[in-house]
Amino acid sequence: MTISRRGFLILGAVTATAFAMPPFISLKAYAANLEQPMNVKVTINVNGKPRELQLDTRTTLLDALREHLHLTGSKKGCDHGQCGACTVIADGRRINSCLSLAVMQDGAEITTIEGLGMPDNLHPMQAAFIKHDGYQCGYCTPGQICSAVAVIKEIRDGIPSHASPSLTEPPQLIAAELQERMSGNICRCGAYSNIIEAISEVAQVQS
């Protein structure tokens, strides 16, 4: 069978359309499916206790803590990773819990402000914040304290920051390092100098 050039082009166009259509249709179906909530079982160790939750996969760690476990110490400031009010410690490292899905933390060890200490048994960092007046309204304070505890560990573990003079030498426990590393924790009340004094005391910062 011979086929003209015109016939060949028409056949090619029809074939291309036929191949293009199914993905287009399935993408629509895929998008519709995304609108359906999907629940999964998540187990997170929170403040030393395993907590099993049935969660919509879109639930952030912050919402899981606050809305499902009723641990309201971690605060929702911006919900966009910009203020640090939601900072918790996950497997020893500080994270913005508003930026992490709870399913991503399945099996993780999470420490919130409630796990660091309570009024009758304060963590040294909590006590130092009170002593140095490191807050006014207190909204940013749980995140500041969780961050501060992790910052001291970061420095002692030798993790450099933007303020470190060397990437290979261990960073020093100095105020400039604390200020740089705490810069992701915003305090609308401007208690910054007192916050640094509190952290410095706990870290026994060199002057």
Contact residues for ligand FES (CB under 6 A)?
A: 76-79, 81-86, 96, 98, 135-141, 187-189, 191
User: Which residue lies nearer to ligand FES by CB, 147 or 164?
Assistant: 147
User: Which residue lies nearer to ligand FES by CB, 79 or 114?
Assistant: 79
Query: Position of tokens 């130092």?
Result: 128
User: Which residue lies nearer to ligand FES by CB, 139 or 172?
Assistant: 139
205-to-32, 40, 92, 172, 183 alpha-carbon distances in Å: 55, 45, 21, 9, 18
Query: CB of 189: closest distance to ligand FES in angstroms?
Result: 3
Cβ distance 189 to 136 under 8 Å?
yes
Cβ distance 106 to 42 under 8 Å?
yes
Query: CB of 141: closest distance to ligand FES in angstroms?
Result: 6
Query: CB of 74: closest distance to ligand FES in angstroms?
Result: 9
Count of CB atoms situated within 10 Å of the CB of 117: 15
Query: CB of 188: closest distance to ligand FES in angstroms?
Result: 4
User: Which residue lies nearer to ligand FES by CB, 172 or 184?
Assistant: 184
Distance CA 189, CA 191 (A): 6
Q: How far is CA 94 from the centre of its chain?
A: 7
Assigned token pair, 32: 């519709």
